[in-house]
Amino acid sequence: MAPRTDLWLQNLLDERDGAALYEGLARHERDPARASSFRELAEAERRHAELWQRKLEREGVPIPPDRPSSRVRAIVWLAKRLGSAAVVPMVLETEAGDADKYERQGGEAREIAAEEREHRSTLAGMSEGAPTDAREIIATRERWHRAGRSSGSLRAAVFGMNDGLVSNLSLILGVSGAGVAPEAVVVTGFAGLLAGAFSMAAGEYTSVASQRDLLARQVELERREIAEAPEEEAAELTLIFKQKGLSTEQASRTAAELLKNPASAADTLVREELGLDPEDLGSPIGAAVASFALFSVGALVPVLPFLFTTGTPAVAIAAALAGTLLAAVGGLLGFLSGTSVVRSAARMVGLAAVAAGVTYAVGRIFGATVS
């Protein structure tokens, strides 16, 4: 196969992957506006794929089956369980890479590069929780809408496990380097596990509970506005429906009909203006339990070798186990974000090695000084 057709084939596979990804995100997105945006992105990727497929067919190149890659399937699986906001940051880097790739190819590919950059801008706004169009106009008047947006369940999960592993590994290696008794190392490890896990859980509970209270207040403010200023809320609904493609007359009529049921009107305004699902504001207890569990899992790893052996062998095994897990997590993040798996894994292992190495050295120095 000629180098040119090799390039076209890779472009086709990349665009098919992009379309499958956005179609999957749209299927699992609760917010109608975000789902619509994902579908528009998918349609654009399908158009790009058709362009490269036609070129390949003219050259007589066999077209492979249209199956999403394992990376896309993994991201869609995560989006189904954690929400699209958790995975959008992973997709941003891919869109930037696609734009650069098409820019280098030149010719008609440069037109696609411009569209890929637009896709990245759209995703960046969704990642930051920034409202667009009608929501932006409304939020300008209602400043209280701007607080309380959040995302990053996957990031929180990774950070929780990473924090538990690195902090407890450093703690255990520090006391091991000081030459304390093996039993003291184990006690220190479990004390560090419990202290860190409870601290993480308490912090997560407080954070989510505070945010939930803030969001619940925003929902209540919206309902109060409907009762006290229905004309203003009707204007906002009209603007929202116009942005969705209705004529001014249709939008006004739809807004008027919707306001006959204040509960439905409030639900629509909350979803469109705040980007919130009133029925899903987050569970403080769930967040606390998840944080506790993830930190504990990470913190337990470096303790395990000291339950079966002592001294240098235990230190070496603990470091090896921690390094392996960190490399796996880092590699998985690199795989999902479309960046270098090796670089991502090396970065996580390298940072942990620095932290653990410093504390071990300090423990050795302190132990030698005391003795």
Other Cβ atoms closer than 10 A to 108? 10
Question: For 258-265, which contacts have Cβ atoms below 8 Å and span 24 or more sequence positions?
Answer: 259/226, 259/230, 259/233, 259/234, 262/223, 262/226, 262/227, 265/226, 265/233, 265/237
Geometric angle at alpha carbon 270, from 267 and 275, rounded to 5°: 125
Q: How many CB atoms lie within 10 A of CB 67?
A: 12
Q: Is the dihedral of CA 328, 329, 334, 340 positive or negative?
A: negative
The arithmetic mean of pLDDT across residues 175-202, rounded, is 89
pLDDT of 277 reads: 60
Structure confidence at residue 192 as a pLDDT band (50, 70, 90) = very high
- Encode pLDDT of 254-297 as tens digits: 878 877 777 777 777 766 666 656 555 567 888 888 889 989 99
Domains of the chain: 3-61+68-127 (1.20.1260), 153-370 (no CATH)
Mean pLDDT of 320-327: 90
Report which residue type is found at 252.
S
235: tokens are 């204007």
- For the segment 57-78, the average pLDDT, to the nearest whole number, is 89
Q: Is the pLDDT of residue 147 over 70?
A: no
Query: What single string gives the DSSP state of each residue in 20-69?
Result: HHHHHHHHH--SHHHHHHHHHHHHHHHHHHHHHHHHHHHTTPPPPP----
Structural contact between residues 233 and 167, judged by C-beta atoms closer than 8 angstroms: no
Average pLDDT of the chain to the nearest whole number: 79
Mean pLDDT for 336-364 is 85
Residue 198 confidence (pLDDT): 93
Structure tokens at 120: 């990245």
Q: In terms of pLDDT, which residue wins out, 64 or 153? A: 64
Q: Give the closest residue to 323 by CA, choosing from 178, 155, 162, 174.
A: 162
191: left (phi over 0), alpha (psi -120 to 50) or beta: alpha
Six-digit token string for 56: 């390949």
**Distance between CA 345 and CA 331 in Å, rounded?**
5
Torsion of CA 5, 11, 14, 16, to 10 degrees: -90
In degrees and rounded to multiples of 5, residue 147 shows phi and psi of -90, 160
Residue 316 has pLDDT above 70, yes or no: yes
Written as six digits, the tokens of 359 are 């504390």
Is residue 127 predicted with pLDDT exceeding 70? no
Above 80 in pLDDT, residue 98? no
